[in-house]
């Protein structure tokens, strides 16, 4: 794999840290800013919606520049947003900082996925995408737990200041290691937009929204769930997030490996198993032994879907993949926003801190239904074309 993929992984590490570290700091941020936990959960929702809204226009704005330059500018925006979060005097400013940082997220991973795929042979593309996303998953093993620990000891503002520093490191890595890759000749914005009208592309994005949304329904509220239901002390949230991150790393690499061999079967297995595990989490969350195992499985099965879903969109939108790739990253975060909002609703309704797990299970099961339908539609189209 090219060394440039390491630079993309460095950027992904910083972005992954800021996206997920908030889940371990919800109680501290809520207490400091004087808001409820469901309200501070909107920092997750706001970030996710920022990714959804920001991915297409940020990608379009970058069409006149080389992909390397776009990636560098996106990392600079990410740094600015995290600095605002670190200095925020109140909840509104904190939310604004989260949204500003999120505007870089979708376009970075979308354009980065295209760059990663173009750096390797076609039969290794899912593996290359998975390697870039390894930065995101490793962030959950190293960046998020350390950020949570720092936030608990030195304050959550210190955590976001450090995350801004990670963004600077990512910016330097891209400047040094990523080669200049100009936009392919002959590809115009109308071609990119046309790819978004393909039914199979839309179905793949629907799988992304529902499947990954299932993960975030549970993980957004992991801190109160583990402390108030499982009975762990607050300090244990750090190593529980490590387990989640280790599961993500393993699932991401396995998903990338098998997606290059059998993409749709990989999706069937990961989505089906994810739905079952999330449903079981409503029970295992009460056990100090089974809860950590389930947390790791949610991470593994959730991220096993990422490389195959991203590669499927790239394959279906071949010839004009940049915008579709970025929009699909937005779809991951639309799922995050939807599920964290729904999770907050069921908690606020008095259904308990394990109720979001049922929401996640239903979302993952719905994604599996879409995957089966998409494959059936593809087989039908192949038969018609053969005739």
- Output the pLDDT for position 1: 61
pLDDT in tens, 188-214: 666 667 667 788 888 988 999 999 889
Distances (CA, A) of 40 to 44, 124, 308: 8, 41, 32
Give the residue among 85, 70, 111, 15 at the shortest CA–CA distance from 333: 15
pLDDT tier at 24, thresholds 50, 70, 90? confident
Q: Which of 68-72, 177-181, 321-325 has the lowest mean pLDDT?
A: 321-325
pLDDT in tens, 229-244: 988 888 788 788 788 8
pLDDT in tens, 30-88: 888 888 777 787 887 788 778 778 877 877 776 667 778 888 899 999 999 999 998 88
Give the residue among 245, 272, 231, 292 at the shortest CA–CA distance from 363: 272
HSE at residue 177, side-chain half, CA atoms within 13 A, is 19
Cβ neighbours of 377 (radius 10 Å) = 13
Q: Write the DSSP assignment of 6-18 as a string of letters.
A: HHHHHHHHHHHHH
Determine the average pLDDT of the residues in 109-132: 79
Residue 99: pLDDT above 80? Answer: yes
- Output the pLDDT for position 183: 62
Determine the average pLDDT of the residues in 336-347: 85
Cβ neighbours of 223 (radius 10 Å) = 25
Residue 364: pLDDT above 80? Answer: yes
- Output the pLDDT for position 240: 87
Residue 182: pLDDT above 70? Answer: no
Distances (CA, A) of 366 to 211, 357, 386: 8, 14, 31
- Output the pLDDT for position 290: 94
Quick one: CA torsion of 262, 268, 274, 279, rounded to 10 degrees?
-170
With pLDDT > 70 as the criterion, what percentage of the chain qualifies? Answer: 93
Determine the average pLDDT of the residues in 289-315: 89
Distances (CA, A) of 158 to 130, 233, 254, 331: 30, 22, 34, 30
- Output the pLDDT for position 279: 95
- Output the pLDDT for position 63: 66
For residue 174 the two structure tokens come to: 């891209």
- Output the pLDDT for position 229: 92
Q: Which of 81-85, 140-144, 223-227, 344-348 has the lowest mean pLDDT?
A: 140-144
CATH superfamily for domain 4-386 = MFS general substrate transporter like domains (1.20.1250.20)
Average pLDDT over the chain, rounded to an integer: 84
- Output the pLDDT for position 198: 81
Report the predicted TM-score, pTM, of the whole model to 2 decimal places: 0.75
Top pLDDT among 113 and 163 is at 163
Top pLDDT among 136 and 229 is at 229
Determine the average pLDDT of the residues in 346-356: 90
Residue 187: pLDDT above 60? Answer: no
């Amino acid at each position: 794999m090219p060394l440039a993929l390491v630079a993309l992984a460095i950027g992904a590490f910083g972005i992954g840290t800021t996206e997920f570290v908030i889940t371990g700091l919800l109680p501290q941020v809520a207490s400091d800013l004087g808001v409820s936990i469901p309200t501070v959960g909107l920092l997750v929702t706001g970030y996710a919606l920022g990714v959804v809204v920001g991915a297409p226009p940020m990608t379009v704005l970058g069409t006149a520049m080389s992909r390397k330059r776009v990636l560098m500018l996106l990392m600079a925006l990410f740094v600015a947003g995290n600095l605002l979060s670190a200095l925020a005097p109140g909840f509104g400013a904190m939310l604004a900082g989260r949204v500003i940082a999120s505007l870089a997220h979708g376009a970075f991973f979308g354009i980065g996925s295209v760059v990663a795929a173009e750096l390797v042979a076609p039969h290794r593309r899912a593996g290359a995408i998975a390697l870039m996303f390894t930065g995101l998953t490793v962030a959950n093993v190293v960046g998020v737990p350390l950020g949570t620990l720092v936030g608990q000891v030195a304050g959550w503002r210190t955590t976001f200041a450090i995350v801004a520093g990670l963004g600077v490191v990512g910016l330097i890595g891209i400047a040094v290691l990523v080669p200049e890759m100009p936009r392919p000749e002959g590809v115009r914005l109308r071609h990119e937009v046309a790819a978004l009208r393909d039914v199979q592309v839309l179905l793949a994005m629907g799988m992304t929204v529902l499947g990954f949304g299932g993960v975030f329904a549970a993980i957004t509220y992991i801190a109160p769930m583990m402390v108030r239901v499982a009975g762990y002390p607050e300090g244990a949230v750090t190593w529980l997030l490590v387990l989640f991150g280790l599961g993500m790393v393993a699932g991401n690499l396995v998903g990338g490996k098998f997606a290059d061999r059998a993409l749709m079967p990989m999706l069937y297995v990961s989505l089906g198993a994810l739905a079952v595990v999330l449903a079981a989490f409503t029970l295992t969350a009460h056990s100090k032994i089974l809860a950590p195992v389930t947390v790791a499985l949610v991470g593994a099965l959730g991220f096993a879907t990422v490389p195959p879903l991203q590669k499927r969109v790239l394959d279906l939108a071949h010839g004009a993949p940049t915008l579709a790739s970025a929009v699909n990253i937005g779809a991951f975060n639309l799922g995050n926003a939807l599920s964290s909002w729904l999770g907050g609703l069921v908690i606020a309704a008095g259904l308990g801190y394990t109720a979001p797990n049922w929401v996640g299970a239903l979302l993952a099961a719905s994604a599996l239904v879409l995957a089966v339908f998409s494959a059936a539609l593809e087989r039908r189209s192949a038969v018609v074309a053969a005739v």
